[in-house]
Structure 1
Amino acid sequence: TAFEYVLFDQSVALAEKHDRYCPLLTGIAGHQLALSESVLALWNEPGGMLAQLRDFPNERYATADEGLAAILRTQITGVDVLKKKLGTPMGRLNQGVAQPYQAEAWRSRQSIENLQASLQGAQAVWERVRSLVSDAALVKDIDQAYADVANQLAALPAPLMELVQAPQHSETLTTLYAALDNLENRQQTELARNLNIQIGFNANDGD
């Protein structure tokens, strides 16, 4: 957020002392790189998360089903976050009053691209899980649900902060939100039932 603010906010563009911005941006980028490398190292280290999702029992999961439940819970949380990133600027949490400045990356006008990237990440997890599903019709339905959301995102005609302020686009955004809701529900109910997995709460419950 700070990186985007420095690069795209008009008040910063008009400010003095631009020579101070490059070191700040370099520091932020270096910190993000260090965090990413740390997460990857923790994932791959002996006894790390990758091993805990592959070899059972372990100190975190007694069975493979427990590991799979954790993956699905994370998957569903990711789709729920997508709904919040769309629904909050739409005003779904504010009695229908649009909140355009609550859109992620509104300064850089990249909100929709961020939603697309998040959807691709969620779908990548689904691609690894789908071979475990015994119901071919359910697999087809979830594949179609991902395609529906992706196609609707790709068809949006303007940055999100502009769309949420234009009444003529309200129905389009509502349809997209419903498609995300359908995607989340299919995974949380039908997919979990097919895999005999108890999902329980996700990280957003209680927000």
Structure 2
Amino acid sequence: MDFKQVLLASLLTISLLGCQSTDTQTVNPQISSHPSHHVYKLEFEFAQRLKVESINLSQTVSDYCAANGDLASLKQQWHRTMLAWMALQGQQRGPELALAQSWNLQFWPDKKNTTGRKMHQLIAQPKRWTQAEIAKQSVTVQGLGAMEWLLFDSASDLTTNTSTCQTAIAISHNLARNTSEIARAWHTNPWLNLDEKQWHAEYIALLSNQLDYSIKKLSRPLANFGHPRPYFAESWRSQASMKNLQANIMALQALYLADGHGIDAVLRDRGKANLADRIVNQFNTMAETWPSDQSVFVLLQTKSGYQKVYAQLNKLEQLNYLIHEEVAIELGVIIGFNATDGD
């Protein structure tokens, strides 16, 4: 099942599974007539999906460690959770609680293999880690990157060491707890006090921040021309970097369209159909040509692969220009520097 099918299925039927320290009560998005409502509703659904996949991951880890599951299924559930995270990754707009908690979900870029070193230290300690104890540790051992190390790194002894399996359970429970907090933060619309112009500025910044983050996921491993840094690629251990970026793009497209009530509709209502068409075409072109079956890490090993990654970077930068520059001008809003600038 590809990301689009997973996303649609998850948004249509969200079944919440119980887990330690999680909220199992089904909730609905806050209803309003504010112009931000359809974007907010998508964010609410993205956050609920991330919560569900994280809870599923926690249950799958527990099943595996109890010898009731297999490693392939566990890896698949990790991938599903990672794809769900891509819809919210890189955000600098939204509920403060959600933004604060999101830092605990992923440590990247890992410039000095900090995740590897910290995970080695963690599993080397002769103790039974709990979720509460993991929550007090470095962010490098709390999130999706820590789970990736356990599942995909050759140095992990998850398959042979029951103590390491218990550590994986604690980390997965912590992920479920943190994503439940993010989902709870999205129970209310954070933009209801903005007027239309303020909302447009916030909306464009929301898209631009996430696009900027996606751009950095390619520009950092590309580095200086001819001198790539493949270990700067996201999810290099699982070889999932391009699939992750495809999920980023699809979530951004959904936010841009917002079920016919997004910036696309605003532009068309203002007689700017040409610009709206260019943006839609850019999204569609990326969707049709994105090399999701390959990873940045592998591609950067060859000259032709480097060129392919660079071509994808150009596509993202063109989309960012259209939204951050041209749309902002047409809507008469000023967008400041992205929160990730200078990073």
Partner of 1:183: 319
Cα 1:159–1:206, aligned 2, differ >3 Å: closer, same or farther?
closer
Percent identity between the two aligned chains = 26
**What is the rounded CA distance, in whole Å, between the counterparts of 1:34 and 1:120 in structure 2?**
26
**What is the rounded CA distance, in whole Å, between the counterparts of 1:7 and 1:165 in structure 2?**
23
Partner of 2:252: 122
> Tell me, what secondary structure is at the counterpart of 1:11?
coil
Q: CA deviation at 1:84?
A: 0.8
**What is the rounded CA distance, in whole Å, between the counterparts of 2:159 and 2:273 in structure 1?**
61
Q: CA deviation at 1:98?
A: 1.0
TM-score, structure 2 as length reference: 0.53
**Long gaps (5+) in structure 2:** 1-144
Mapped contact 1:80–1:184 kept (Cα < 8 A) = yes
> Tell me, what secondary structure is at the counterpart of 1:85?
helix
Mapped contact 2:236–2:297 kept (Cα < 8 A) = yes
Quick check: 1:131 aligned with 2:274?
no
Partner of 1:192: 328
CA displacement 1:164-207 (0-9 Å, x = unmatched): 11112232222211111100000011111122221112111222
**What is the rounded CA distance, in whole Å, between the counterparts of 2:330 and 2:225 in structure 1?**
36
Partner of 2:231: 101
Q: CA deviation at 1:151?
A: 2.5
Cα 1:41–1:156, aligned 2, differ >3 Å: closer, same or farther?
closer
Mapped contact 2:215–2:313 kept (Cα < 8 A) = yes
Mapped contact 1:74–1:202 kept (Cα < 8 A) = no
Cα 1:16–1:149, aligned 2, differ >3 Å: closer, same or farther?
closer
**What is the rounded CA distance, in whole Å, between the counterparts of 2:165 and 2:321 in structure 1?**
45
Match 2:182 to one of 34, 39, 64: 39
TM-score, structure 1 as length reference: 0.85
Match 2:242 to one of 102, 108, 112: 112
Match 2:208 to one of 37, 58, 76: 76
Q: CA deviation at 1:152?
A: 2.8
**Long gaps (5+) in structure 1:** none
CA displacement 1:103-160 (0-9 Å, x = unmatched): 111111111111111111211110122111131111110011112222232x355321
- The number of residues matched between the two structures is 192
More helix by share: 1
Partner of 1:27: 170
Match 2:285 to one of 141, 148, 159: 148
After superposing on structure 2, the runs of 4+ consecutive aligned residues of structure 1 that deviate more than 6 Å are none
Q: Which deviates more, 64-73 or 80-89?
A: 64-73
The letter for the 1-side match of 2:199 is: G
